[in-house]
A and B are shown apart, each in its own frame.
Chain A
Amino acid sequence: MRFYTDGAKKTARLAICLSLSLIMSALELMLPLPFAPPGVKLGLANLVTLYLLYRYGAPDALIVAVLRVFLTGFLFGGLSSIMFALPGALTALAAMALIKRARVFTPVGASIAGGTCNNLAQLVVAALTVKTAALAYYLPILIASGALTGLIVGLVCTTVLQRTEKA
């Protein structure tokens, strides 16, 4: 974890990342992927979270992730979406931070864990909402899609991290 003495730089950087993740969220909502089973999302917003985590540490990633969830809720409809997205984003970040700490994994591994945890957490919230365990029917597809989209996002993010190393 690095501490910045230049607050303005950090603020600007986080603001840009936040805007980027909002754009990703918006993109996802615009591409419904009709051929995919319901509940399958690309998890693009995690890309920014993952990048921040590996480049600047968990606190920065946390700030942007939380703000992104709320702003996406305000801007793109569904205050109720916050109820699902927030636990998803938080558990995903926690999992990714733990994986990063374990050191034997690459960002791809963290992303796989993050995507899976995101979906799992959202399913748990959904189950608590309708007060039934019947939603377990969706577990296989959510775990699989979470892991696979995590893989794709992780590969993209690794590319970005590698190419921005000199910055």
Chain B
Amino acid sequence: MKRMMNLFDGLLLFAALLAAALLLWHQYARPGEAAARADVYESGNLFESRTLSEDSLIEINGVVIEISGGARVISSTCPDQRCVKRGKILRAGESIVCLPNRVSIMLAGEEALDAVLY
């Protein structure tokens, strides 16, 4: 069997995996601040902003969101259910997105500035 890969391919692969690893580390490294409210967006427009201190349910576009200390998607009409599988988010700057239904939930802290891209 002839040689199929060479050193440069290996470097390229390594670079990609390294980038992925760095991004992953970056996501989890900082403890982050506790979130105070959840902003729910529909197609990029702010639909509602709920405080996390009270439990509540939001339903929009087929996505059912439970707010209780954090936010999670209980159910959704999307085929792949990635939003449901995401689980519960707790910290400012974290988010859940349901692409097919164009819904996204972002947690924001108490300052006027939301957490920007980590």
Does chain A bind chain B?
A: yes
Residues of A within 8 A of B106 (CB): 132, 134
Establish whether residues A132 and B41, one from each chain, have CB atoms under 8 Å apart when the complex forms. yes
Verify if B56 is at the interface (C-beta below 8 Å from A). no
Residues of B within 8 A of A126 (CB): 97, 99
Within 1-44 of B, Cβ neighbours of A (below 8 Å) are at: 2, 4-6, 8-9, 12-13, 16-17, 19-21, 23-24, 27, 41, 43-44
State which size class the interface on B falls in: 20 to 34
Verify if A11 is at the interface (C-beta below 8 Å from B). no
Nearest Cβ on chain B to A42's Cβ, whole angstroms: 16
Residues of B within 8 A of A109 (CB): 5-6, 8-9, 12
A116 to B9, CA, bound (A): 13
Residues of A within 8 A of B118 (CB): 136
Interface centre among B4, B43, B80, B85 (most CB of A within 10 A): B4
Residues of A within 8 A of B81 (CB): 38
Give the residue name and chain of the A residue nearest to B99 (CB): A126
How many contacts between A and B, using CB within 8 angstroms? 99
Q: Which of B13, B27, B41, B99 is in CB contact (< 8 Å) with A147? A: B13
Give the segment of A19-27, A48-56, A138-146 that binds chain B: A138-146
Q: Which of B19, B27, B41 is in CB contact (< 8 Å) with A143? A: B19
Give the residue name and chain of the B residue nearest to A147 (CB): B16
Query: Does more than half of chain B's interface fall in helix, strand or loop, or is it mixed?
Result: mixed
With A109-B12, A134-B95, A147-B13 already in contact, the answer to whether A155 and B4 are too (CB < 8 A) is yes
Within 106-154 of A, Cβ neighbours of B (below 8 Å) are at: 106, 108-109, 112-113, 116, 126, 129-137, 139-141, 143-144, 146-148, 151, 154
What are 13 A-B pairs with beta-carbon distances under 8 A? Answer: A105-B6, A105-B9, A112-B12, A131-B41, A131-B43, A132-B97, A132-B106, A143-B16, A144-B21, A146-B16, A147-B13, A147-B16, A154-B9
Tell me the B residues contacting A by CB distance below 8 Å: 2, 4-6, 8-9, 12-13, 16-17, 19-21, 23-24, 27, 41, 43-44, 80-82, 85, 94-97, 99, 102-104, 106, 117-118
